[in-house]
A = this chain, B = another copy of it.
Amino acid sequence: MAYINEHFLKLKAGYLFPEIGRRVNEFTQANPDKAPGLIRCGIGDVTEALPEAVIEALHAAVDEMGNRKTFRGYAPELGYEFLREAIAEHDYAARGMDISADEIFVSDGAKCDSANILDILGSQNRIAITDPVYPVYLDTNVMAGHTGPADDAGLFEGIIYLPCTDANDFVPAIPEEKADLIYLCYPNNPTGATATKAQLSAWVDYAKANDSIILYDAAYEAFIQDADVPHSIFEIEGARDCAIEFRSFSKNAGFTGTRCAFTVVPKGLAAKDAEGHDHSLHALWGRRVATKFNGTSYPIQRAAAAVYTEAGQTQVRSLIDHYMGNAKLLREAAANAGLEVFGGTNAPYIWVKTPNGTPSWDIFDKVLNEAAVVITPGAGFGTAGEGYFRISAFNSRANAEEVAQRIGAMAW
């Protein structure tokens, strides 16, 4: 008799974005006249074409695959040296961080990596997760059996929730409880907040004092505008002893449909077995990747490497400028409409307080019905997201301008 993994049954119905899709479908079928004018500012998906340098690299690599002399079969599971070296040099060494190429593991997505990392970590770890949060961190822990059931409010037993609200500038306070694994994401999805060096240092100190591991998601680092905002957890003294970092090409170079990302696991990073002996997480992750993954597509790795060329860097900057220009328009429109607005200055997300404490799914339906604009309800990211909604700046300029106008025209 085959058995299922029953932990899946604890998951709440519908992952956030499928539920949004369902409501949008209902709306467009009920309002065929409004459907053509619908503008999506919901899911954080990029809208602009891949940079030219990336396109050129893809074509060149495809041609290599069409010739048996230059054809490539299985890639090294951990990633090609040419890409790992480029990452180490440009994302780390250039910012004064000491991360070597063989501490970088190339993959097909930061979502996959931040989910799969649990494979190498024990089920007895106490998990701390910010609230609101990117749902993947929570759902993968539920699936892995690291939680009890959810209560009526949707909070899972055994999870240490770290509320992030305007009261703490969306950076969680250090908890009194001891957490073994702490998920942090800055610039933050969904709040668009950033963490200062001092705030991250406090977390690194906490992790070191407790032998905890910080799982740091820096997928949005390219959107940072302010010079003093850290781009990586490894800018913080001591982080090599307590942190794993997830990065992606999805949001900087527009790879959401192209798929490339990487994870940094410092060589000295260790966690314990039940008897208290240290084991290298770098070695365990290497074993996991070699056993359960077969490498990232060769043309895609060449495409990612092109992001680090001079042309690629210029083109990525222009993409970032485009989206951050949208963010400015949307931020100002919401503020001018009298709404309380956060984020959107070092991140492509604007986090908006709902007027008069309206529940966020109600605001979702209101904005959909009155403005034909899809936003993301804060409650979809966790209970502390209730009372907020997220506007994504990933759009064409024309759409961002139109959304700004519709936001201004709505009766909030």
Contacts and interface: CB of A to CB of B under 8 A. Distances in A.
Interface string A1-20: 11111101101000100100
A284 interface: yes
Given A65-B257, A256-B74, A273-B9, A212 B2 contact: yes
Nearest to A8: B284
Most buried by B among A213, A292, A396: A292
A107 to B, nearest CB: 10
Interface string A157-201: 000000000000000000000101100000000000000000000
Contacts of A328: none
Contacts of A272: 1-4
Given A49-B65, A256-B73, A4 B297 contact: no
Most buried by B among A47, A140, A294: A294
B1 A180 contact: yes
Report the copy number of this chain in the oligomer.
2
A135 B287 CA distance: 13
A71 B59 contact: no
A101 to B, nearest CB: 18
A125 B6 CA distance: 12
Contacts of A211: 1-2
Contacts of A116: 292
Given A212-B2, A258-B298, A66 B55 contact: yes
Interface in A58-117: 58-59, 62-63, 65-68, 71-75, 108-109, 111-112, 115-116
A150 interface: no
Contact of A273 (B4, B66, B121, B256): B4
B140 A295 contact: no
B4 A271 contact: yes
Contacts of A181: 2
Contact of A291 (B63, B136, B212): B136
Interface in A291-333: 291-300
A358 interface: no
A257 B143 CA distance: 30
A135 B294 CA distance: 13
Given A2-B180, A180-B3, A52 B66 contact: yes
A256 B296 CA distance: 10
B11 A287 contact: yes
Contact of A62 (B59, B119, B287): B59
A145 to B, nearest CB: 9
Given A4-B122, A52-B66, A180-B3, A257 B295 contact: yes
Nearest to A298: B257
A403 to B, nearest CB: 17
Contacts of A15: 287, 290-291
A59 B63 CA distance: 9
A401 interface: no
A257 B297 contact: yes
Interface in A12-69: 15, 18, 43, 45-50, 52, 55, 58-59, 62-63, 65-68
B291 A5 contact: no
Contact of A58 (B5, B43, B45, B62): B62
B120 A5 contact: yes
29 contacts: A1-B272, A2-B125, A3-B121, A3-B122, A3-B124, A3-B125, A4-B122, A5-B121, A6-B122, A9-B279, A46-B73, A49-B66, A49-B68, A55-B62, A58-B299, A59-B59, A59-B62, A68-B396, A71-B257, A75-B257, A108-B294, A109-B293, A111-B292, A112-B294, A115-B291, A119-B143, A143-B288, A143-B291, A297-B300
6 closest Cβ pairs, A-B complex: A3-B122, A45-B73, A115-B292, A55-B66, A2-B271, A72-B257
